[in-house]
Amino acid sequence: MGIIKRRYRKKNQQKENVYYRAEVYVKGVRVSARTFSTKREAVFWHEQEKHKFTLSPSSLNDRITFKDCVERFWKDAKARMMKSTIQSYECRLTYFYKGPLADIKMSSLKGIHILEWIEWLKKHPTAKNKGRKSFIQEVNFLRTILYWYRNFLNEDFNVPITKKHRQMSFFKPIIPRRPDHYMRPEDGRQWVEWLKERRSNPVYFRLAVFMLLTGTRVGEACGLKWEEVDLEKGTARIIRRVRWDQQTKRPFLEDVTKTVQSARLLMLPEKLKDVFKEMKKEAVNGLVFTDAKGELLKYNAIQSSFNAGFEALNLPWRSTHICRHTFATIALMETKNLSAVQASLGHTEIRMTQRYAKTVALLSSETGEKTASAIFKDSRL
């Protein structure tokens, strides 16, 4: 029994005090410990805690409901998440706490229950939202929770989510994304010129130029300070970002980046250095990109300005992230150096860079010439 009696004496006190330390060990590893003033309390807690940790997976499966599983997952995972991720997940938790899965025991959870839950989602009020075309993100979140349960609570559990469930989560037709998901150079120039001429605040034109020529995320660009910009060396350090609260839409400055690799040093092209030199004359210190009051830019204001230019020029884009796709694709077209583009974007894996820099960028004149010479090697054509 892991009950330890200990004595201690306070300063300037002759009488000894006693307390009992209860410790629970499973397979030689201490998994829980607590201090009590009496031995009876320590023994009672120790027996209860020992019983909880020695439950067989099958008995745990019979006791825990899906709602209990979600609560345990959230308590464990929340501590490792960034605030923006927490807000995004909290919006989806209501689909689990109030849906038809909530009271089902984990021992009874089957694929048919997932199908019933998806049908319930399709009748949910949020399904009527104009932009809502599927519940694939909710299905993926459910998959994450169930895999957490299998990894940490019951290794014998079989995750009942299949390809069928993912397909059924779509209830509206989705227009396939164009394979050339980037702005052509001439479209980018027209768009930037439109922002410069038609917007009273020049910050949106300057922000667009910076994002197009560096491939930074909009939050990274808005979090850039003049102290991180060295115009003599032509560099800018990305070490922080702006986060916009999903409920209030308020901007917050955070001294972190999306990933460790996102913190990086950017080389500024001459065109961008000219823009920054002009901006430097007006700026004192602090943020590079601010609104008319010198405060953090709001995302809906940025998106509204960018989209106004896209609509006026009859361009299909409706997102600030198109600037990042454009930089990646054109940079790969011109350099043919995928690793350099990956470093510029701050991607952890090169597969993500390949998604941004479309396969069209891998085509080169050398490929065509070598193919032609092989096919028509001895031909008179």
Condensed to tens digits (0 to 9), the pLDDT of residues 190-210 reads 999 999 998 888 999 999 999
Give the number of residues written for the chain.
381
What is the spatial distance between Cα 310 and Cα 190, in angstroms, rounded to a whole number? 10
Read off the tokens for 287: 């943020």
> Using an 8 Å Cβ cutoff, are 257 and 241 in contact?
yes
> What pLDDT does 376 receive?
63
Strands (E), the chain: 3-8, 17-26, 29-36, 229-230, 235-238, 241-244, 251-254, 264-267
Which residue numbers in the chain have pLDDT < 50? 361
CA–CA separation, 145 and 69 (whole Å): 8
pTM above 0.75, yes or no: no
Cα-Cα-Cα-Cα torsion 344, 347, 349, 350, nearest 10 degrees, comes to -30
Report DSSP letters for 181-214, one per residue: -S--HHHHHHHHHHHHHH-SSTHHHHHHHHHHHH
The pLDDT assigned to 49 comes to: 79
* pLDDT on residue 235: 93
